[in-house]
Structure 1
Amino acid sequence: MLPLDPAAPTPLTEQIVQGLIAKIERGILAENARLPSVRGLARTLAVSPFTVAEAYNRLVAAGWIHAERARGYFVSARHAAGARAPARAPVDDAWLLSRVYEDQALDLPAGSGWLPPDWLFEDGVRSALRQLAKAPGEQLTRYGHPQGLPELRQQLQWRLALRGIEAPAEQIVLTHGASQGLDLAIRLLVKPGHTVLVDAPGYSTLLAALQSHGALIRGVPRTANGPDIAALAELASRHRPVAFFTNSALHNPTGTSTTAQTAHQILKLAERHDFHVVEDDPFADLLASPSPTLASLDGLDRVIYLGSFSKTLSPALRLGYLAASPALSARATQLRMAAGLTGSEILDACVLAMLSDGHHRAHLERLRERLSEAQQRVGKRLGELGWSLFHQPGGGLFLWAEAPAGLDPAKLTRTAAAAGIALAPGRFYLPDGEDSRHFRFNVAWSDNSRLYGWLAAQQAA
């Protein structure tokens, strides 16, 4: 029995987590011991099943316990009787990559996922903040709407309609960046032990989040036209996934975009094998012309659509959005409130002011043009050094390039860091962290002669 104190400042979920950790450390719960079911423990402790499920999810993420499909939760061997082993390698790799990018000594982040400051909409941010400073005091001090500022969601309804996506404002939930949108989608669809499909290569932060949640991850190879449909069909038939997470436009890290024909095939497979599709689309505003989306073809039936403002306005704003069916968007709102009540109405209002700014459209046009030009220059320079491009995008942030024979990717990454250059090796983007000779290059940062001089020196050594 776990002693809980509802009057204590420590949340009940955390009390359950710490109580079970103490029992594992003292050996009271032995290796491979089966834990009570979520509902069983909830009845015993007189708490909600949601509280116990959240505690179990945290323990799975920390490696104390693991889930076995259709069997339940068990104490992990590495944590039995006080053993404290590190988390599995792919999660560590994702965090290591994040730490590398945070190091201020790495002044040339050639593999990063963000734009240089002078490429972003700084003037728009300053103008929006000046407007906000004149707002009524109530707007600056109150809690926001559970789904986010209604006026911004109405603006998004109109913008999504231009992409062919019918998403009423009440089916849009604002999020703390696209990352919270992914987290909400995972919590909506995935339980520990469920199988999910992802792009391979794919978004490294998503891989870490899914693994933390206890999901079984299977990678769908990426082609120049989007996910490999034959591989997707085979994996869906064999593993019966609950969801497929895919980055549709200007894919991270390959720069590819899913064609209309491929999108149709994905949705047919989703219906045949009864899984949802989470369409992560943070780069949509960087497309020179709108392309078909899974959400526009599906009508938000099986598709959860995610977007972000970080890539084009400012990462500091940390604002994104989720659009889904009425039932899923309502549930996403509940999960969002459980995690942090409401969002920031100040940030919502700031983004609304920026989108309404007459200079926003011109900013996007200049940004697309600069990225397109940088794509060509970076691709040419890498090719001259013997690097092989997976695909030459017409725009967007990324190029996916294979290193010439004779270069050790791990050594190249370490040597680059010593020289103040942050590279992004391919293994960070693969579900199992397998070896890869590919690297992700951010063309905005990689359009720099210093990078190519350094690469040439490494190849000559």
Structure 2
Amino acid sequence: MLQITLSPDLPTPLVDQIVQAIRNRIDDRVLRPGARLPPIRQFAEQYGVSRFTVVEAYDRLVALGHLQSRRGSGFYVASRALPAPSARPGDVIERAIDATWLMREMAVDGPDRILAGAGSLPAEWLDEAGVLRALRALTRRKDLRPVSYGSPQGYAPLRAQLQVRLAEIGIGATAGQIVLTYGIHQALDIVCRYFLKPGDCVLVDDPGYWNLFGNLRLYGVALVGVPRTPEGPDVRALEALLAEHQPRLFFTHSVLHNPTGCNLSPANAFRILQLAEKHDFMVVEDDIYGDLAPNAATRLASLDQLSRVIYTGSFSKTLSGNLRVGFLACRPDLAHLLTDVKIVSMMSSAELSEQLIHQLLTDGPYRKLLERLKGRLVEATGRSLRMLERVGLQADPEPAGGVFVWARIPGLTDSSELARLAARENIVLAPGSVFRPQGQPSGYLRFNVGFSDDPRLERFLARALDAGLTANGGEVPTQSHPPAQPG
């Protein structure tokens, strides 16, 4: 007999009580694979619940893989492979310290984990309650289409809202020039699918966006790095590279550059567009952190008005990374062609998420949220800079705002070993090599200011530099340095 206890007086719904009780019996091996559960009518009568409650609980257990339904026979405990043993914190770091490693590490969260190299803001900084309110309001709307495909170009009201927002930063684009995507990654991927073939040359920032580099390698293209300066891409180096290469695209970050935190200067922007015209290549401008930028930031798309610039953005950093809504804006003819690529590769994007983002943008609190985030970032950046100075790291260059500090370790040519050792202490650092097009060694680290105010991070860095481990690859002493006080 099953022998479980249910109580209608508990706040947990009866369906959830049944699901959890049966799962516990299965996990404890009381119910073994192949065991038959009581028929629905018998279960309902025995425990005084409705048959509908039992059906829903059984169906949920089937969906979770705990039960199997056999037509005309009933429900049986499913045979399941034993879960693989959990990796110890030190196991995963034996892999190569590269972009894939960093992405995997940032996806693992926990109360004792310091994501100092992460690319997103702490979840508690964002407006989770506002997202939930908007979600509830969305379910009451009459235009909601929860079981239909979205339109190929994306939810029209959101594209109209983006038209207004782009105009505010000097980019003139109609709603027809905007294509909504599954986050900025799909926007960049659509561009790659349309423009690139194996063997093509592509220019990228050096250092630059590490995940983009991995995606470009999947297309078999040749990555050529353009050195990054505090003013943006080094235009003299760019001009010299163009004498040797014929790139199809130049992927670059103009505002709050990832990883250096610097902004493009007007003079550099003007020269880049001149060279794009002269050498006939398109510029793909990634502005994912743009909503956190100063009001006077220079964007290539605002100078070029989408003639040779494809502008991309997203709301994953300020609203929700879970909703996966991004966009691209470009010439009208190109928007049509890129929409075709989207249809062929993904059919359409997620209209439910697009409607929710539209609701969040038009309800009003979004601008206030941005102001709060900018204020917190200013304070957190100050604390991070002081902490790095105390342990002997130098911000180079000084960030112009935003999420990141790009810090140099004096005398060090490769920070990968430091990241490997930090991982053993549940600290995720982002070594400079992952931000270089060919993974070249780098003595830099990217710090996310939202996660860098933990005393354990300061103590680790202080021990590492005091011990000279970054130069000789030795172990980090665990008690040689007194606890550092948070700044």
> In 2, are the aligned partners of 1:372 and 1:394 still within 8 Å (CA)?
no
Give yes or no for the alignment of 1:101 onto 2:106. yes
How far apart are the structure 1 equivalents of 2:412 and 2:314?
Answer: 39
Listed one character per residue, the Cα deviations across residues 127-172 of structure 1 (whole Å, up to 9, x for unaligned) are 1101111123752222111111000000000000000001100010
Q: Alignment partner of 1:246: what SS?
A: strand
Q: Which residue number corresponds to residue 144 of structure 1?
A: 150
Residue 207 of structure 1 deviates from its aligned partner by 0.4
The correspondence of residues 13-24 of structure 1 with structure 2, limited to 5 A, is: none
Aligned to 1:29: none
Superposition pairs for residues 168-179 of structure 1, below 5 Å?
Answer: 168-179=174-185
Give the Cα separation in 1 of the matches to 2:198 and 2:118. Answer: 30
Give the secondary structure class of the aligned counterpart of 2:400: coil
Deviations 1:409-458 (A, max 9, x none): 22211111110100000000101111100011001111222211121122
Distance 1:137 1:285, change over 3 A: closer
Q: State the match for 2:426 in structure 1.
A: 420
Give the structure with the larger helix fraction. Answer: 1
Shift of 1:276: 0.4
Cα offset, 1:407, TM superposition: 8.7
Alpha-carbon distance in 2 for matches of 1:313, 1:268: 35
CA contact (8 A) 1:300 1:325 kept: yes
Instruction: Determine the structure 2 residue equivalent to 1:401.
Output: 407
CA distance in 1, matches of 2:366, 2:412: 46
**Counterpart-to-counterpart distance in 1, 2:277 and 2:455:** 49
Q: Distance in 2 between matches of 1:406 and 1:269?
A: 35
In the alignment, is the contact (CA less than 8 A) between 2:201 and 2:246 conserved in 1? yes
State the alpha-carbon separation in 1 of the partners of residues 424 and 99 from structure 2: 19
For residues 209 and 406 of structure 1, what CA distance do their matches in structure 2 show? Answer: 29
Matches within 5 A, 1:257-272: 257-272=263-278
- Residue aligning to 1:365: 371
| CA offsets 1:267-326 (integer angstroms, 9 cap, x no match) | 000001111000011011001314221111111111000011001111111111000111
1:15-69, CA deviations, whole angstroms, 9 ceiling, x for partnerless residues? Answer: xxxxxxxxxxxxxxxxxxxxxxxxxxxxxxxxxxxxxxxxxxxxxxxxxxxxxxx
Q: Is the 8 A contact 1:129 1:350 kept in 2?
A: yes
Match of 2:383 in 1: 377
Query: Which residue in 1 is equivalent to 2:33?
Result: none
Read off the aligned partner of 2:103 and give its amino acid letter.
S
User: Which secondary structure does the structure 1 equivalent of 2:327 belong to?
Assistant: strand
Counterpart-to-counterpart distance in 1, 2:412 and 2:218: 35
In the other structure, the counterpart of 1:226 is 232
Which stretch shows the higher mean deviation, 445-454 or 342-351?
A: 445-454
**1-side partners of 2:249 and 2:436: how far apart?**
18
Say whether 1:323 aligns with 2:334. Answer: no
Give the drift of 1:406: 6.1
Helix, strand or coil at the partner of 1:315: coil
Q: Does 1:332 align with 2:338?
A: yes
Q: CA RMSD in A?
A: 1.7
Alignment of 1:232-251 (within 5 A): 232-251=238-257
How high is the sequence identity, in percent, across the aligned residues?
Answer: 46
- Count of residue pairs the alignment pairs up: 372
Q: 2:416 touches 2:433 (CA, 8 Å); kept in 1?
A: no
**Aligned 8 A contact 1:146 1:337 in 2:** yes
* Structure 2: distance between partners of 1:92 and 1:438: 14
2:204–2:224 Cα contact (<8 Å) kept: yes
- Per-residue CA distance 1:164-222 (angstroms, 9 max, x = gap): 00110001000111111111111222211110100000000110111110111100000
Task: Give unpaired runs (5+ residues) of structure 1.
Answer: 1-89
- TM-score under structure 1 normalisation? 0.78
Deviation larger for 384-393 or 299-308: 384-393
The CA deviation at 1:104 is 3.4
Determine whether 1:345 maps to 2:356. no
Q: Counterpart of 1:446 in 2: which secondary structure? A: coil
Contact 1:427-1:434 within 8 A present in 2 as well: yes
Check the 8 A contact 1:177/1:321 in 2, yes or no.
yes
Whether contact under 8 Å (1:195, 1:217) holds in the other structure is: yes
Larger Cα Rg: Structure 1 or Structure 2?
A: 2
Distance 2:184 2:208 in 1: 15
Change (3 A) 1:406 1:331: closer
Structure 1's 407 and 459: CA in aligned 2 closer, same or farther, altered over 3 A?
A: farther
> Is there any run of 5+ residues in structure 2 with no aligned partner, and where?
1-94, 468-487
Aligned partner of 1:104: which letter? D
- Give 1:396 deviation, angstroms: 0.5
Does the Cα contact within 8 Å between 1:197 and 1:218 map onto a contact in 2?
Answer: yes
What one-letter code is carried by the residue in structure 2 that aligns with 1:148?
G
Worse overlay, 430-439 or 450-459: 450-459
TM-score, normalised by the number of residues in structure 2 = 0.74
Q: Out of 302, 310, 318, which is 1:296 matched to?
A: 302
